[in-house]
Amino acid sequence: MDSVAQLLSEWARERPDIDTAPVGLVARVIRIAALVTRSAERWLAPLGLTWESFSLIVTLRRVGQPFQLRPLELLQDSLLSSGAMTNRIDRVEAMGLVVRLRDPNDRRGVIVQLTPEGRKLADKAFEVHVTELKTLLKGLPATDRKALAKLLSGWLSELEETTS
């Protein structure tokens, strides 16, 4: 029995007239995301990274040469929420992992670019991240992982279309 089963049981007792299946599904997704993020913070800490700094540098690494995006593009392409993107960039810049460049197409704009040190760390951190995620998923059979990925992808696509 997982932690969400308890809250569903309590709602079933208190409000038996309401089908709480949607709550169970979404609550489990939220709890899994929180647990994975907390775990990632633990395996990224020895590299000097937080989840936010990791997400920022691997997003820049993933886009390829010249490893740069505008802050709004970083927000849209990363797994980060919108709050305080400037402060996140400031912290990662202070670590020497990114630099800000003037945007040649916008006098007031900037472009965030991964430094060579940032690229090396992004590559190392991503390898660690994938290895640790594989460990977290080892209890889920490959066929279930594939089916779950397909289901979640479909649901995410629908939500992205209808809630943006």
- C-beta neighbour count of 69 within 10 angstroms: 19
d(CA 48, CA 53): 9
Which residues, other chains included, contact 62 with Cβ-Cβ below 8 Å and sequence gap of 6+? 77
Where does 49-163 sit in CATH, by number? 1.10.10.10
pTM recorded for the entire structure: 0.86
Q: What is the pLDDT along the chain (164 residues), one digit of tens a residue?
A: 899 999 999 999 999 999 999 999 999 999 999 999 999 999 999 999 999 999 999 999 999 999 999 988 888 877 666 667 888 899 999 999 999 999 888 888 899 999 999 999 999 999 999 999 999 999 999 999 999 999 999 999 999 899 86
d(CA 40, CA 44): 6
d(CA 25, CA 115): 41
Tell me which residue has tokens 């007031």.
108
Distances (CA, A) of 156 to 88, 159, 163: 26, 5, 10
